[in-house]
Amino acid sequence: MIWKHCVHFAAQQQEVTVLIGISYQGRPVAGVIHQPFWGTSAVGRTVWAIKGTGVHGMEIVKSNSQRYAVTTRSHSTVHIHDTLNILKEKNLIDDVEFVGGAGFKARYSDNSYPFSVLKCLEGAAAYVFPSPGCKKWDTCAPEAIITASGGKLTDISGNDLYYGADAQIPNNSGVLATAHWINHQEFVDCIPKRIKVLVPELARN
């Protein structure tokens, strides 16, 4: 199954992205995120991964002494802020970057979802999005890439996302991604049960 998406109606050129995710038996096995206007290069930046071969096209930060999470500013809700505050109280994160999507996120910008997950390869501890809103085409390529780096991406209850041909398009149970140097389950366990129940209910309404 191939999931593709082009984020082109962006506030800034560097936010333009082309996403191609390939899944097999419902799970991502390869992903490409191309940013045609990234940096000063005439060809932009292409980050890609195939299961078992690692990540190509960018340097992966080994770890970061200051743990910060990224989340989506444009879809900010009370339960997102509640979750982030709890993660701070449990000392799982020190700070938060509010951004706009799932692949790359700059502080207080309005990007697309694929960007945010890439931040987990560039020093962020986690991408935390306890809310409905993003789709399978937003997460298939980023999940393939972060998984190839040793990180993890699930819904907020720790369940794998399913990308088969019969998959439900929206990610109704939110998204949680963590860097390779982070214990993913610790973040899952800290998200309150009431929020894990509420998010799918919001998607149905």
Instruction: Please enumerate, by residue number, every residue annotated as part of a binding site for Mg(2+).
Output: 138
Angle (nearest 5°) at CA 38 between 36 and 44: 45
| Separation of first and last alpha carbons in the chain | 29
Measured from the Cβ of residue 27, the count of other Cβ atoms closer than 10 Å reads 17
Give the integer Cα–Cα distance in Å for 205 and 192.
Answer: 21
Q: Which are the contacts of 153, defined by CB distance < 8 A and separation ≥ 6?
A: 117, 127, 139, 142, 143, 146, 147, 161, 175, 176, 177, 178
Please state the residue numbers annotated as binding site: 138
Give the closest residue to 179 by CA, choosing from 97, 54, 101, 62.
62
E strands along the chain, which residues?
A: 2-7, 17-24, 27-35, 45-50, 55-56, 68-72, 95-99, 126-129, 152-154, 175-178
